[in-house]
Structure 1
């Protein structure tokens, strides 16, 4: 046996208020939408929408009138009394493109602010004027009404207790201006017009500079900032036109970009997300579209293939603006990059044209100062980079002194950008700096100093052997740096494997032991970090001349700990113990020498 669904209208209204419409303010947008669709269905000679607030009606009610197509009595029964039924679909259920409404639930939003909704309508196709009155309890009445002078519809709302402010003059005027300022039909609240004509980007100007200034002023009034620049947007497939305003101040990449979107010139939302690619967070858009679909709450855009295509098209237009800026106005481009470098770098990770722009125009930090990557390659050929800021600060001065160019890739996206540079030219060589490479570029010692250095190194090796480090004496700049801790990539990998093996047991430990060599073969020679002592440093020259084994051990351990701290290297328990031991030992040595001096 077949049965129909029974609908609890109060439950539906509660569902709409709590989960679909984010605010009761949606009721006026839905009323404007119905009025616009009625005018679109059969435009009269002088189309108009009139809103009469309580100050005009005098009885606390709100009237919304249009002189559109109206409804017959049969249509009133069919459309107003069936939840989800809409006249704005064709026989296959698809929405008719010239209408704003699609879901057949718009009139229910009025029950968010009123317990009773009255609709007085007369059809342009003929018939008498009828009055439909819907009640929140779930019933409605239809009866003849006083004849209207012309076809059209009037909706009357009387606020429920506690909702009076939603129908007040000030609220209604503000909502009508927000939602309907760009509508193609004149809208008035009482005697006050709220429509402002066509969208500002479609207005006619004889002088392009006047148009630009008008759009900048529009952004100041609407978005509350004066843009860095204005970019025209146009996506015919989505029926989309509008402008993107480039923000004058930086925003974090994690900030969610939102835009002001109109649907057939009715405001969809002021914080619509997903219109631009994620990397384009430096722009805020104001657009009007006729083909993109809204979500059921009419606050966001429905995610479908057309929205994805539109997003890609708008991203391409923003990218073209950046490329054009580089070609025509390098000074303005530099101004833009100084503010929005993060967004451009994010794009360069995925886009070759933006990679080329970053390579030519965006300064990066290097050991030789700030310069573009293109200039850096002209100076040094190979692009070597430090993957972290700490590593760059540790090695930049030393690398530069040895003639090794070094780029600081410790900032967002820069390492990925550097590794993509060969896409611009296969001849470009990019390498992460291996700290061990710096030792091979340092100057050898004067043969006359070798004997004293060798005696010193014998004591230094014994001091550092238990710390897993090899002492080396070289001459390098700057002389103010007495010691440098260098751990090559292989040394770091072996140290990580040893630490993992020490903390593992059973099968995991056996597997990690197997990484050090093939079974039955001798283990590879361990790669040890090096403590490079700078023979050009006056302090190190005095240290090398020491002959007391205990004092040499204390001084070498102190230099080792200092080099670790200077390079922001992690300190193991053994390293901390050695640093403490050397500090206390040197203090004791100094006190002992002072006591001996006093005795003399």
Structure 2
């Protein structure tokens, strides 16, 4: 035995209000949507039919009157009283894409603010006018009524707890918000709420006049004066619109809130995912005919068409950047100062953007800010560091030795530097191995190095337990007494040793065996003989004091280079500090 489902209308309305719609305000949108669809249906039959929606608000009541196709009595029973039926668009025999609605829920949204809805309608196909009265408890009735012209009037009286949603001010604001771009005449208490045309489709005397008008429009919508604008077109999605460029830096982690219309009805003011993630510097206003909304009609449905649309909009922004580089270099520099992160992100997988970054975007270098193209011209053998700390430690030394250095430690920079060879094999920049920098540091005079040999032997003995060698060099800047340099292989060796010491017996044996297969490559403490303090330390007659001083210089070099301190390093730094303090106090007593 088969039985039909019983539908609790109050439960359905509660479901809509709590889980589908974000706010009761959507009832205005749904009523406008139904009216616009009815007008579209009538114009399909009568192209010259009037397109008008009149909204009257007063005394807690909202009345929406349209000049649409209307309904017959049979259609009223079929379409207004059957929850879950596809929609009147299919019943009337028109293709779904011609209409705004997709889910046939529209009229039920009225129960978000009212317990009773009246629909007075007369079909343009002929037949008498009828009055449908539906109540939130699931009951409805249909009676004959008098109505001269085809069309529909929907009337609802708000419940006491929903009075704020049916004031003239609120309904006017919502009608302007949702329906300002509708291609029909919409009024609220006689006040027109629709524009003559899409703002980006309006005709202007000059391109500059159009640009100024659109910038004004963007400022009204988003609250900022855009830096620039980009026209958007995606044929497959039936999409047109404008992207406005933010005039201030944007947070890449915050997804942009775009204003999206579907068939000129506002879908949402806060759409995300419309643009690629890297295009966080733009805010869009678009109207699309073919993109699909979610069930709540407050977001876009993720499908292949939306993916394609996202790619095409990203392509439009990329082409705008390329044109800006060709026609307005100063404008491009202004843009890059604000939104370099987005361009860098795009350059990771787009060669045109990589060329733009190479030519126009300034990077931090040992010779000051400059573009990568300029840097390669001035420093053919230049290098880059993969961390900001390493750059800060080595930039002055590297620059003084004539080795250009780029700071690749910021977001995306190292990846961009590694990709340069894609656009020009000669543009390749290699990462700097700090150990290689020692080969560029000048040797000490042989006589002075010979005189310092006892000191160097004592220093080597002091730092040997710390796994570090000591060398004496002569280099600029003279203000830097010591430099801690370690190769990539030495860093890996140290990490392996730490893992071995922290692991259990089995892993210690495995890592120990692996460590023995690696070539010994120890970090170096490079003492700068050009520094006055180092010269005094190398000349100390008391070698034990010299060893303590070297340990202090070792600790200072680690701290200056932002290197991590191992327990042994911290202990050596403490010993040297206390030893030098004890020597200083003892020196006063001796005096």
Please report the TM-score for the alignment, with normalisation by the length of structure 1. Answer: 0.96
Q: CA–CA distance in 1 between the matches of 2:81 and 2:326?
A: 61
SS at match of 1:12: helix
Alignment of 1:570-589 (within 5 A): 570-589=564-583
SS at match of 2:121: strand
Instruction: Verify the 8 A CA contact 1:182 1:266 in the aligned structure 2.
Output: yes
Which residue of 1 is the match for residue 495 of structure 2? 496
Deviation digits for residues 183-203 of structure 1 (CA, Å, limit 9, x no counterpart): 101001011111121111000
Q: CA–CA distance in 2 between the matches of 1:574 and 1:157?
A: 80
Question: Does 2:125 correspond to 1:119?
Answer: no
Instruction: Verify the 8 A CA contact 1:122 1:130 in the aligned structure 2.
Output: yes
The structural deviation recorded for 1:60 is: 2.9
Q: CA–CA distance in 1 between the matches of 2:510 and 2:9?
A: 67
The structural deviation recorded for 1:100 is: 0.4
Question: Does 2:477 correspond to 1:478?
Answer: yes
Which residue of 2 is the match for residue 384 of structure 1? 383
Question: Does 2:53 correspond to 1:49?
Answer: yes
Q: CA–CA distance in 1 between the matches of 2:88 and 2:137?
A: 27
Deviation digits for residues 461-496 of structure 1 (CA, Å, limit 9, x no counterpart): 111111111111011111110111111111110000
- Judge which range, 31-40 or 444-453, deviates more: 444-453
SS at match of 1:515: helix
Distance 1:546 1:321, change over 3 A: same
The structural deviation recorded for 1:87 is: 3.8
Q: CA–CA distance in 1 between the matches of 2:52 and 2:84?
A: 27
Alignment of 1:252-291 (within 5 A): 252-291=251-290
Instruction: Verify the 8 A CA contact 2:40 2:99 in the aligned structure 1.
Output: yes
Alignment of 1:512-527 (within 5 A): 512-517=511-516, 523-527=517-521
Deviation digits for residues 272-325 of structure 1 (CA, Å, limit 9, x no counterpart): 111111100100011111111111111111111111111111110000000000
- Judge which range, 546-555 or 201-210, deviates more: 546-555
Matched length: 587
Question: Structure 1: 5+ residue runs without aligned partners?
Answer: 518-522
SS at match of 1:97: helix
Please report the TM-score for the alignment, with normalisation by the length of structure 2. Answer: 0.97
Which residue of 2 is the match for residue 207 of structure 1? 206
Flag as ranges the 4+ runs of structure 1 deviating above 6 A: 91-94
The structural deviation recorded for 1:412 is: 0.8
SS at match of 2:133: strand
Which residue of 2 is the match for residue 367 of structure 1? 366
- Judge which range, 86-95 or 240-249, deviates more: 86-95
- Judge which range, 153-162 or 421-430, deviates more: 421-430
Which residue of 2 is the match for residue 556 of structure 1? 550
Which residue of 2 is the match for residue 74 of structure 1? 74
Instruction: Verify the 8 A CA contact 1:181 1:197 in the aligned structure 2.
Output: no
Q: CA–CA distance in 2 between the matches of 1:87 and 1:25?
A: 22
Alignment of 1:286-305 (within 5 A): 286-305=285-304
Which residue of 2 is the match for residue 520 of structure 1? none
SS at match of 2:250: coil
SS at match of 1:155: strand
Alignment of 1:69-108 (within 5 A): 69-90=69-90, 96-108=96-108
Q: CA–CA distance in 2 between the matches of 1:31 and 1:88?
A: 14
Alignment of 1:149-188 (within 5 A): 149-188=148-187
Distance 1:160 1:92, change over 3 A: closer
Which residue of 1 is the match for residue 136 of structure 2? 136
Question: Does 2:468 correspond to 1:464?
Answer: no
Question: Structure 2: 5+ residue runs without aligned partners?
Answer: none
Distance 1:191 1:94, change over 3 A: closer
Q: CA–CA distance in 2 between the matches of 1:79 and 1:298?
A: 20
Which residue of 1 is the match for residue 504 of structure 2? 505
Distance 1:112 1:524, change over 3 A: closer
Which residue of 2 is the match for residue 228 of structure 1? 227
